Amino acid sequence: MTQFRPSRFEILPVIVKNLLIINGLFFLAQFAFSAPDSFINLEATFALHAWQSSLFRPWQLITHMFLHGDFAHIFGNMFALWMFGSVLENVWGSKKFLTFYLVCGLGAALIHLLFLSYEFLPMMKAYQQMYLRQAEGGIIPMEEMRQFMVTYLSADPEDIRQLQNMGDDRFSNQQLFSLLSDKYQVSLNMATIGASGAVFGVLAAFVYLFPNTYIYIYFLIPIKAKWLGILYFTYELFFAIQNSAGDNVARWAHVGGAIVGLLIVFTWNKKNRQQFY
Q: Which of the residues in the chain have pLDDT under 50?
A: 4, 274-277
How far is it, in rounded angstroms, from Cα 137 to Cα 149?
A: 21
Looking at residue 218, what is its pLDDT? 67
Return the H-helix or E-strand segment holding 215: strand 214-217
- Assess whether 175 and 44 both reside in one domain: no
Residue 3 forms part of a structural domain: no
**Distance separating alpha carbons of residues 158 and 83, to the nearest angstrom:** 45
Range of the domain at 99: 14-117+193-276
- Length reported for the chain: 277
**Domain termination residue (choose one: 170, 188, 206):** 188
In a domain, 270, yes or no: yes
d(CA 270, CA 158): 57
Residues 66 and 182 in one domain: no
Asked if residue 201 and residue 104 are part of one domain, the reply reads yes
User: How far, in whole angstroms, is CA 126 from its chain's centroid?
Assistant: 26
Q: Are residues 37 and 157 in the same domain?
A: no
Is 29 contained in some domain?
yes
Is 204 contained in some domain?
A: yes
Spatial separation of the C-alpha atoms in residues 32 and 16, rounded to whole Å: 24
Supply the pLDDT for residue 36. 67
Tens digit of each residue's pLDDT (9 = 90 or more) over 261-275: 999 999 988 765 544
Number of domain units in the chain: 2
Instruction: Check whether residue 160 and residue 233 sit in a common domain.
Output: no
Q: 173 and 253: one domain? A: no
Torsions phi, psi of 192, nearest 5? Answer: -115, 125
Closest CA to 204 of 276, 256, 261, 275: 261
Flag whether 4 is in a domain. Answer: no
For 75-106, what is each residue's pLDDT tens digit? 999 999 999 999 999 999 999 999 999 999 99
- Domain match, 203 and 224 both: yes
What pLDDT, on a 0 to 100 scale, did the predictor assign at position 152?
Answer: 83
User: Which CATH number belongs to the domain containing residue 70 in this structure?
Assistant: 1.20.1540.10
Same structural domain, 229 and 106: yes
- Candidates 160, 22, 31, 167; CA nearest to 102 is 22
What pLDDT shows up at residue 217?
Answer: 73
Which amino acid would we find at residue 35? A
| Residue 78: exposure state from Cβ atoms within 10 A (0-12, 13-18, ≥19) | buried
Model pLDDT, residue 222: 82
Query: What pLDDT is attached to residue 151?
Result: 81
pLDDT score at 5: 53
- Assess if residue 34 is contained within a domain: yes
Scored b (16 or more CB within 10 A) or e, 156-194 reads eeebeebbeebeeeeeebeebbebbeebbeebbbbbbbb
User: Where among 188, 210, 229 does a domain terminate?
Assistant: 188
Q: Are residues 157 and 106 in the same domain?
A: no
Cβ neighbour number for residue 135 with a 10 Å cutoff: 8
Asked whether residue 109 falls in the same domain as residue 202, the answer is yes
CB-CB contact of 222 with 215 (8 Å): yes
Residue at which a domain ends, from 188, 217, 242: 188
Q: Look at residue 274 in the predicted model and tell me its pLDDT.
A: 46
